[in-house]
């Protein structure tokens, strides 16, 4: 009979092997899937009671509902009261922190390689763990979706067909690309950099999103922090999704061309073109425009004279809040893009339904994505709210 110690030793051997097989790598993926399932379950159990009905979180969820969600829910003929929406978002909050931590931890595996710390072979093995960790999390996520759809009474409402297919295609694509890259280019530092950039940027965006969600931007100190965090998010997005991404992928293309690795080259160029174009058109450009607009509106708000009338001050606050909402919407799109590259759910499931020029169909799809990743799989009215 195989003991836990034997399994542990076997996995360690695979991690540091320079010539693992596909079966070996899949064993590591399964191990990471189990680890992340246990971690996510533990975080849910521990964190939920700690944040239940906390004033700072209740206030943030309440504002989200009033800003966006209430109107969109009515337009979509969805019966969800304010209390139910807050309860839904609060139940989902621990999962968001777990997802953020998972991506940041995955990026840390790549640090020794990209900084040239320690033995190169050891560093490459750790970087490969960063990729396999992501694939493992995606595997347990797919299994979770399948089980919910099969056995939960409202499984296909929680994970609608279109949402399930999108995530399934993405997860399958990531697995199909990740494992071959480790098999043939595990020591290529460019691969490690890409893994670091995508996971670190995603984890950072999620963390900043949760912070900015609870800030009171009418408070001067909170307003400065809000602008600083969004500026860092914008710079990180431009660097990891456009500038550094282009440099890294070009380096890979040259390597694959010299190696005559035509399959890698073909799919690599195709994915790079789609990813870069989508990043700029859907993520970077709108986020930059909304951020600049917010800076202008906030400057007008901060420039109000002490003797400004109550009506003028109230109007300025309304404009500031609207600019904030538009900026967070643009940031939500940027994080939604991560779903298709490194499996990121929408920036935060507590983010209300998208508004603006995407129309009713886009709003419904955004809401489906939100609900599909509910931590508790049901929306219940909290008696304590």
Q: How far is CA 186 from CA 49, 130, 132, in A?
A: 42, 11, 12
CA dist., res. 249 & res. 274, Å (int): 12
Residue 76: pLDDT band with limits 50, 70, 90: low
Tell me the average pLDDT of the chain: 80
DSSP H or E stretch at residue 351: none
CA dist., res. 88 & res. 377, Å (int): 9
pLDDT per residue as tens digits for the range 170-225: 677 666 778 899 999 999 999 999 999 989 998 998 888 888 878 888 889 999 99
Three-class secondary structure of residue 260 per DSSP = coil
* Residue 318, CA atoms < 13 Å, CB-side half-sphere: 6
CA dist., res. 10 & res. 26, Å (int): 13
- The owner of tokens 């992340």 is 36
Least trusted range by pLDDT, from 73-77, 84-88, 110-114, 309-313: 73-77
Q: Which residue has the higher pLDDT, 235 or 275?
A: 235
pLDDT per residue as tens digits for the range 27-55: 999 999 999 999 999 998 999 888 888 88
- How many beta carbons lie within 10 A of that of residue 45, not counting itself? 10
CA dist., res. 385 & res. 83, Å (int): 6
Q: Which two tokens stand for residue 338?
A: 């991560």
Residue 72: pLDDT band with limits 50, 70, 90: low
pLDDT of 253 > 90? The answer is yes
At residue 368's C-alpha, the angle toward residues 350 and 281, to 5°, is: 85
DSSP H or E stretch at residue 66: none
DSSP state of 306: T
Residues in the chain: 385
Q: What is the CA radius of gyration of the chain?
A: 22
Cα 172 from chain centroid? 18
- The owner of tokens 């939920």 is 48
pLDDT for 346: 36
pLDDT of 247 > 80? The answer is yes
pLDDT for 68: 67
pLDDT of 157 > 90? The answer is no
pLDDT for 173: 65
pLDDT per residue as tens digits for the range 19-31: 899 999 999 999 9
pLDDT for 207: 87
Q: Exposed/middle/buried for 263, CB within 10 Å: 0-12, 13-18, 19+?
A: exposed
At residue 152's C-alpha, the angle toward residues 353 and 75, to 5°, is: 25
pLDDT per residue as tens digits for the range 260-315: 999 999 988 988 888 888 788 877 888 899 899 999 999 999 998 888 888 888 89
pLDDT of 133 > 60? The answer is yes
pLDDT for 223: 92
pLDDT for 351: 36
Residue 331: pLDDT band with limits 50, 70, 90: low
pLDDT of 97 > 90? The answer is no
């Amino acid at each position: 009979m195989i003991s836990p110690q034997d399994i542990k030793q076997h996995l360690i051997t695979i991690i540091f092997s320079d010539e693992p097989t596909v079966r070996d790598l899949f064993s590591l993926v399964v191990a990471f899937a189990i680890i992340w399932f246990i971690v996510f379950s533990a975080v849910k159990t521990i964190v939920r009671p700690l944040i239940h009905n906390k004033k700072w979180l209740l206030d943030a969820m309440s504002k989200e509902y009033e800003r966006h969600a209430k109107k969109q829910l009515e337009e979509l003929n969805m019966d969800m009261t304010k209390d139910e929406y807050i309860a839904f978002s609060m139940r989902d909050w621990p999962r968001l922190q777990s997802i953020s931590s998972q991506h940041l931890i995955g990026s840390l595996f790549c640090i020794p390689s990209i900084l040239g710390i320690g033995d190169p072979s050891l560093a490459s093995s750790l970087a490969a763990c960063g990729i396999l960790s992501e694939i493992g999390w995606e595997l347990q996520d797919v299994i979770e979706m399948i089980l919910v759809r099969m056995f939960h009474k409202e499984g296909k409402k929680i994970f609608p067909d279109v949402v399930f297919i999108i995530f399934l295609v993405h997860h399958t694509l990531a697995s199909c690309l990740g494992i071959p890259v480790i098999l043939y280019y595990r020591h290529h530092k460019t691969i490690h950099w890409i893994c670091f950039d995508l996971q670190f940027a995603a984890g950072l965006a999620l963390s900043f999103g949760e912070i900015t969600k609870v800030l009171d931007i009418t408070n001067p100190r909170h307003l400065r922090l809000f602008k600083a965090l969004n500026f860092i998010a914008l710079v990180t997005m431009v660097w990891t999704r456009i500038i550094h991404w282009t440099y890294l992928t070009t380096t890979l293309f040259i390597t694959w061309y010299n190696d005559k690795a035509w399959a890698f080259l073909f799919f690599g160029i195709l994915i790079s073109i789609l990813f870069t174009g989508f990043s700029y058109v859907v993520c970077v450009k709108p986020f930059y425009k909304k951020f600049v607009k917010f800076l202008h509106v906030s400057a007008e708000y901060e420039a109000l004279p002490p003797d400004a009338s109550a009506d003028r001050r109230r109007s300025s606050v309304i404009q500031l809040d609207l600019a904030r909402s538009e900026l967070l919407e643009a940031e939500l799109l940027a994080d939604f893009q991560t779903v298709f590259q490194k499996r990121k759910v929408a920036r935060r499931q507590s983010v209300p339904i998208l508004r603006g020029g995407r129309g009713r169909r886009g709003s419904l799809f955004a809401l489906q994505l939100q609900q599909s990743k509910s931590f508790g799989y049901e929306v219940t009215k909290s008696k304590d709210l």
